[in-house]
A and B are shown apart, each in its own frame.
Chain A
Amino acid sequence: MNADFTIENGDVVMTTQTLGNDETGVIESDGQLNTMNVGAISAPGDDVTIKNEGSVSTTALVLKEFFQRVEDW
């Protein structure tokens, strides 16, 4: 489903975000968009705006756990 999205400070989103025409996605600092095995942002539309000040990542399950542990440390 296409829609604008904003991931605020401290939020963690683990589902792929899809942007259509003229839509905007914002990941604020300390916001996380983390998906496993698939693209984190899919933007097939034109004139899409993505502003990332946080983290956009795709990880395998093992790596995700690794990064999670690193972050916890």
Chain B
Amino acid sequence: MINNSGLVSSAQAEAIRGVGNDVILNLLPGSMILGRIDLGSGADNDTANVFEGIKNTASGLPFAGLIAGPVSSVVAFTRSILKSIGPMILFIIVPIIMLGMTLSYYLPMIPFILWTMALIGWLMLVVESLIAAPLWAAAHAIPEGEGMSGQHGKQGYMLFLNVLMRPALMVFGFFISIIVMQEIGNFIGNSFGTFGAGMNATFENGPITFITMMFVIGGIIVVAAHKIFGLITWLPDNVMRWVGQQVQNLGEGNDEQRTRTIFAAAASTGGSAGSSATSSAVQRGMYEGRKAEQGGGDGGAEAAGKEDQSANNAAQEDVQGSGSTSEGKGRQQR
């Protein structure tokens, strides 16, 4: 192993030469290289780790003629490949991260959001009944119609029944939606696997297929969760119709949609930042690539060194971005 942080200068022969097999050369910050280092030839596996800011001051070009043997070209080639595909990898990874955040955090929150909104809606209904109670009592005094309540007081009993029944129906809806979600989840998982295998039967599956399917199945699950856990509000809204009561929708679905919109807005904001950073990185990568090509007359070895600083800066900027995701419209508004 060679750890160099000083001057290595050779005017005639290599300053360091004929080192044995599997040598690791670390050119640490502070290194100044004038000429050549010979790690030895043969079929061994020499490694050169060039740290940031190292330049071959003799040639004026990073890496050019710095290290004898195939090591320098391997290092430069690897750096060049990573620099070229790095922005594309980020472009793919950012939406995947957002999809993962949606499935990890938003999807489990759907029952809670819907339940909370339904609870708030019921409390508002209770307040409404308290305010309306004197008027309802007064309506009993109107003699029109038949029976104790008369024509005008009859409707109030059905509304009061709705106030009493709504919490129980919400609980029923919640537990039933959990049971249905488990079954539908199994159905989606099994049928989607079969569907995916059939759809991709005629061509080879690759990473693009995998990522696309991941987005599709993620979207299906989110939409299904919205629809199924909508039972929490669906049951109280619709069960009472069976006894002739036309219950107004309390708007829990709209409340949930507002929450979803806030989440989507946050995701799209992060996505815009991520896309901007990724786009910037792509443009910078293209610029650096052109610059490397213009200065690349001596081979691929020259391409990497000068790009170190900008590549590090780009990488630091890129990781700050995040992506966007969109979801299908979930539970239909009634």
Query: Which A positions have Cβ atoms within 8 angstroms of B?
Result: 21, 27, 29, 36-60, 63
Contacts and interface: CB of A to CB of B under 8 A. Distances in A.
B9 A57 contact: yes
12 contacts: A37-B12, A39-B18, A40-B16, A41-B17, A47-B20, A49-B3, A52-B3, A52-B6, A55-B9, A56-B4, A56-B6, A58-B14
Interface in B13-42: 13-23, 30, 34-35, 38
A56 B3 CA distance: 12
B17 A57 contact: no
Contacts of B220: none
B165 interface: no
A37 B21 CA distance: 25
Contacts of B5: 52-53
Nearest to B31: A52
A44 B10 CA distance: 18
B38 to A, nearest CB: 8
Given A50-B2, A55-B9, A56-B16, 13 more contacts: A29-B6, A39-B10, A39-B16, A40-B10, A40-B15, A43-B18, A45-B20, A50-B4, A52-B3, A52-B4, A54-B6, A55-B6, A58-B14
Contact of A43 (B4, B6, B12, B20): B20
Contacts, number: 98
B7 A39 contact: no
B11 A63 contact: yes
Interface of B is mostly: loop
B16 A50 contact: yes
Contacts of A43: 16-20
A38 to B, nearest CB: 6
Nearest to B8: A56
A39 B18 CA distance: 9
Interface residues of B, number: 27
Interface in B199-250: none
B18 A58 contact: no
Interface in B284-320: none
Contact of B1 (A39, A49, A63): A49
Contacts of A39: 10, 13-18, 38
Chain A to chain B: the 6 pairs with minimum beta-carbon distance, closest first = A57-B9, A46-B20, A55-B7, A39-B17, A50-B2, A52-B4
Contacts of B4: 50-52, 56
Contact of B18 (A37, A42, A51): A42
B320 to A, nearest CB: 36
A43 B2 CA distance: 11
A60 B11 CA distance: 6
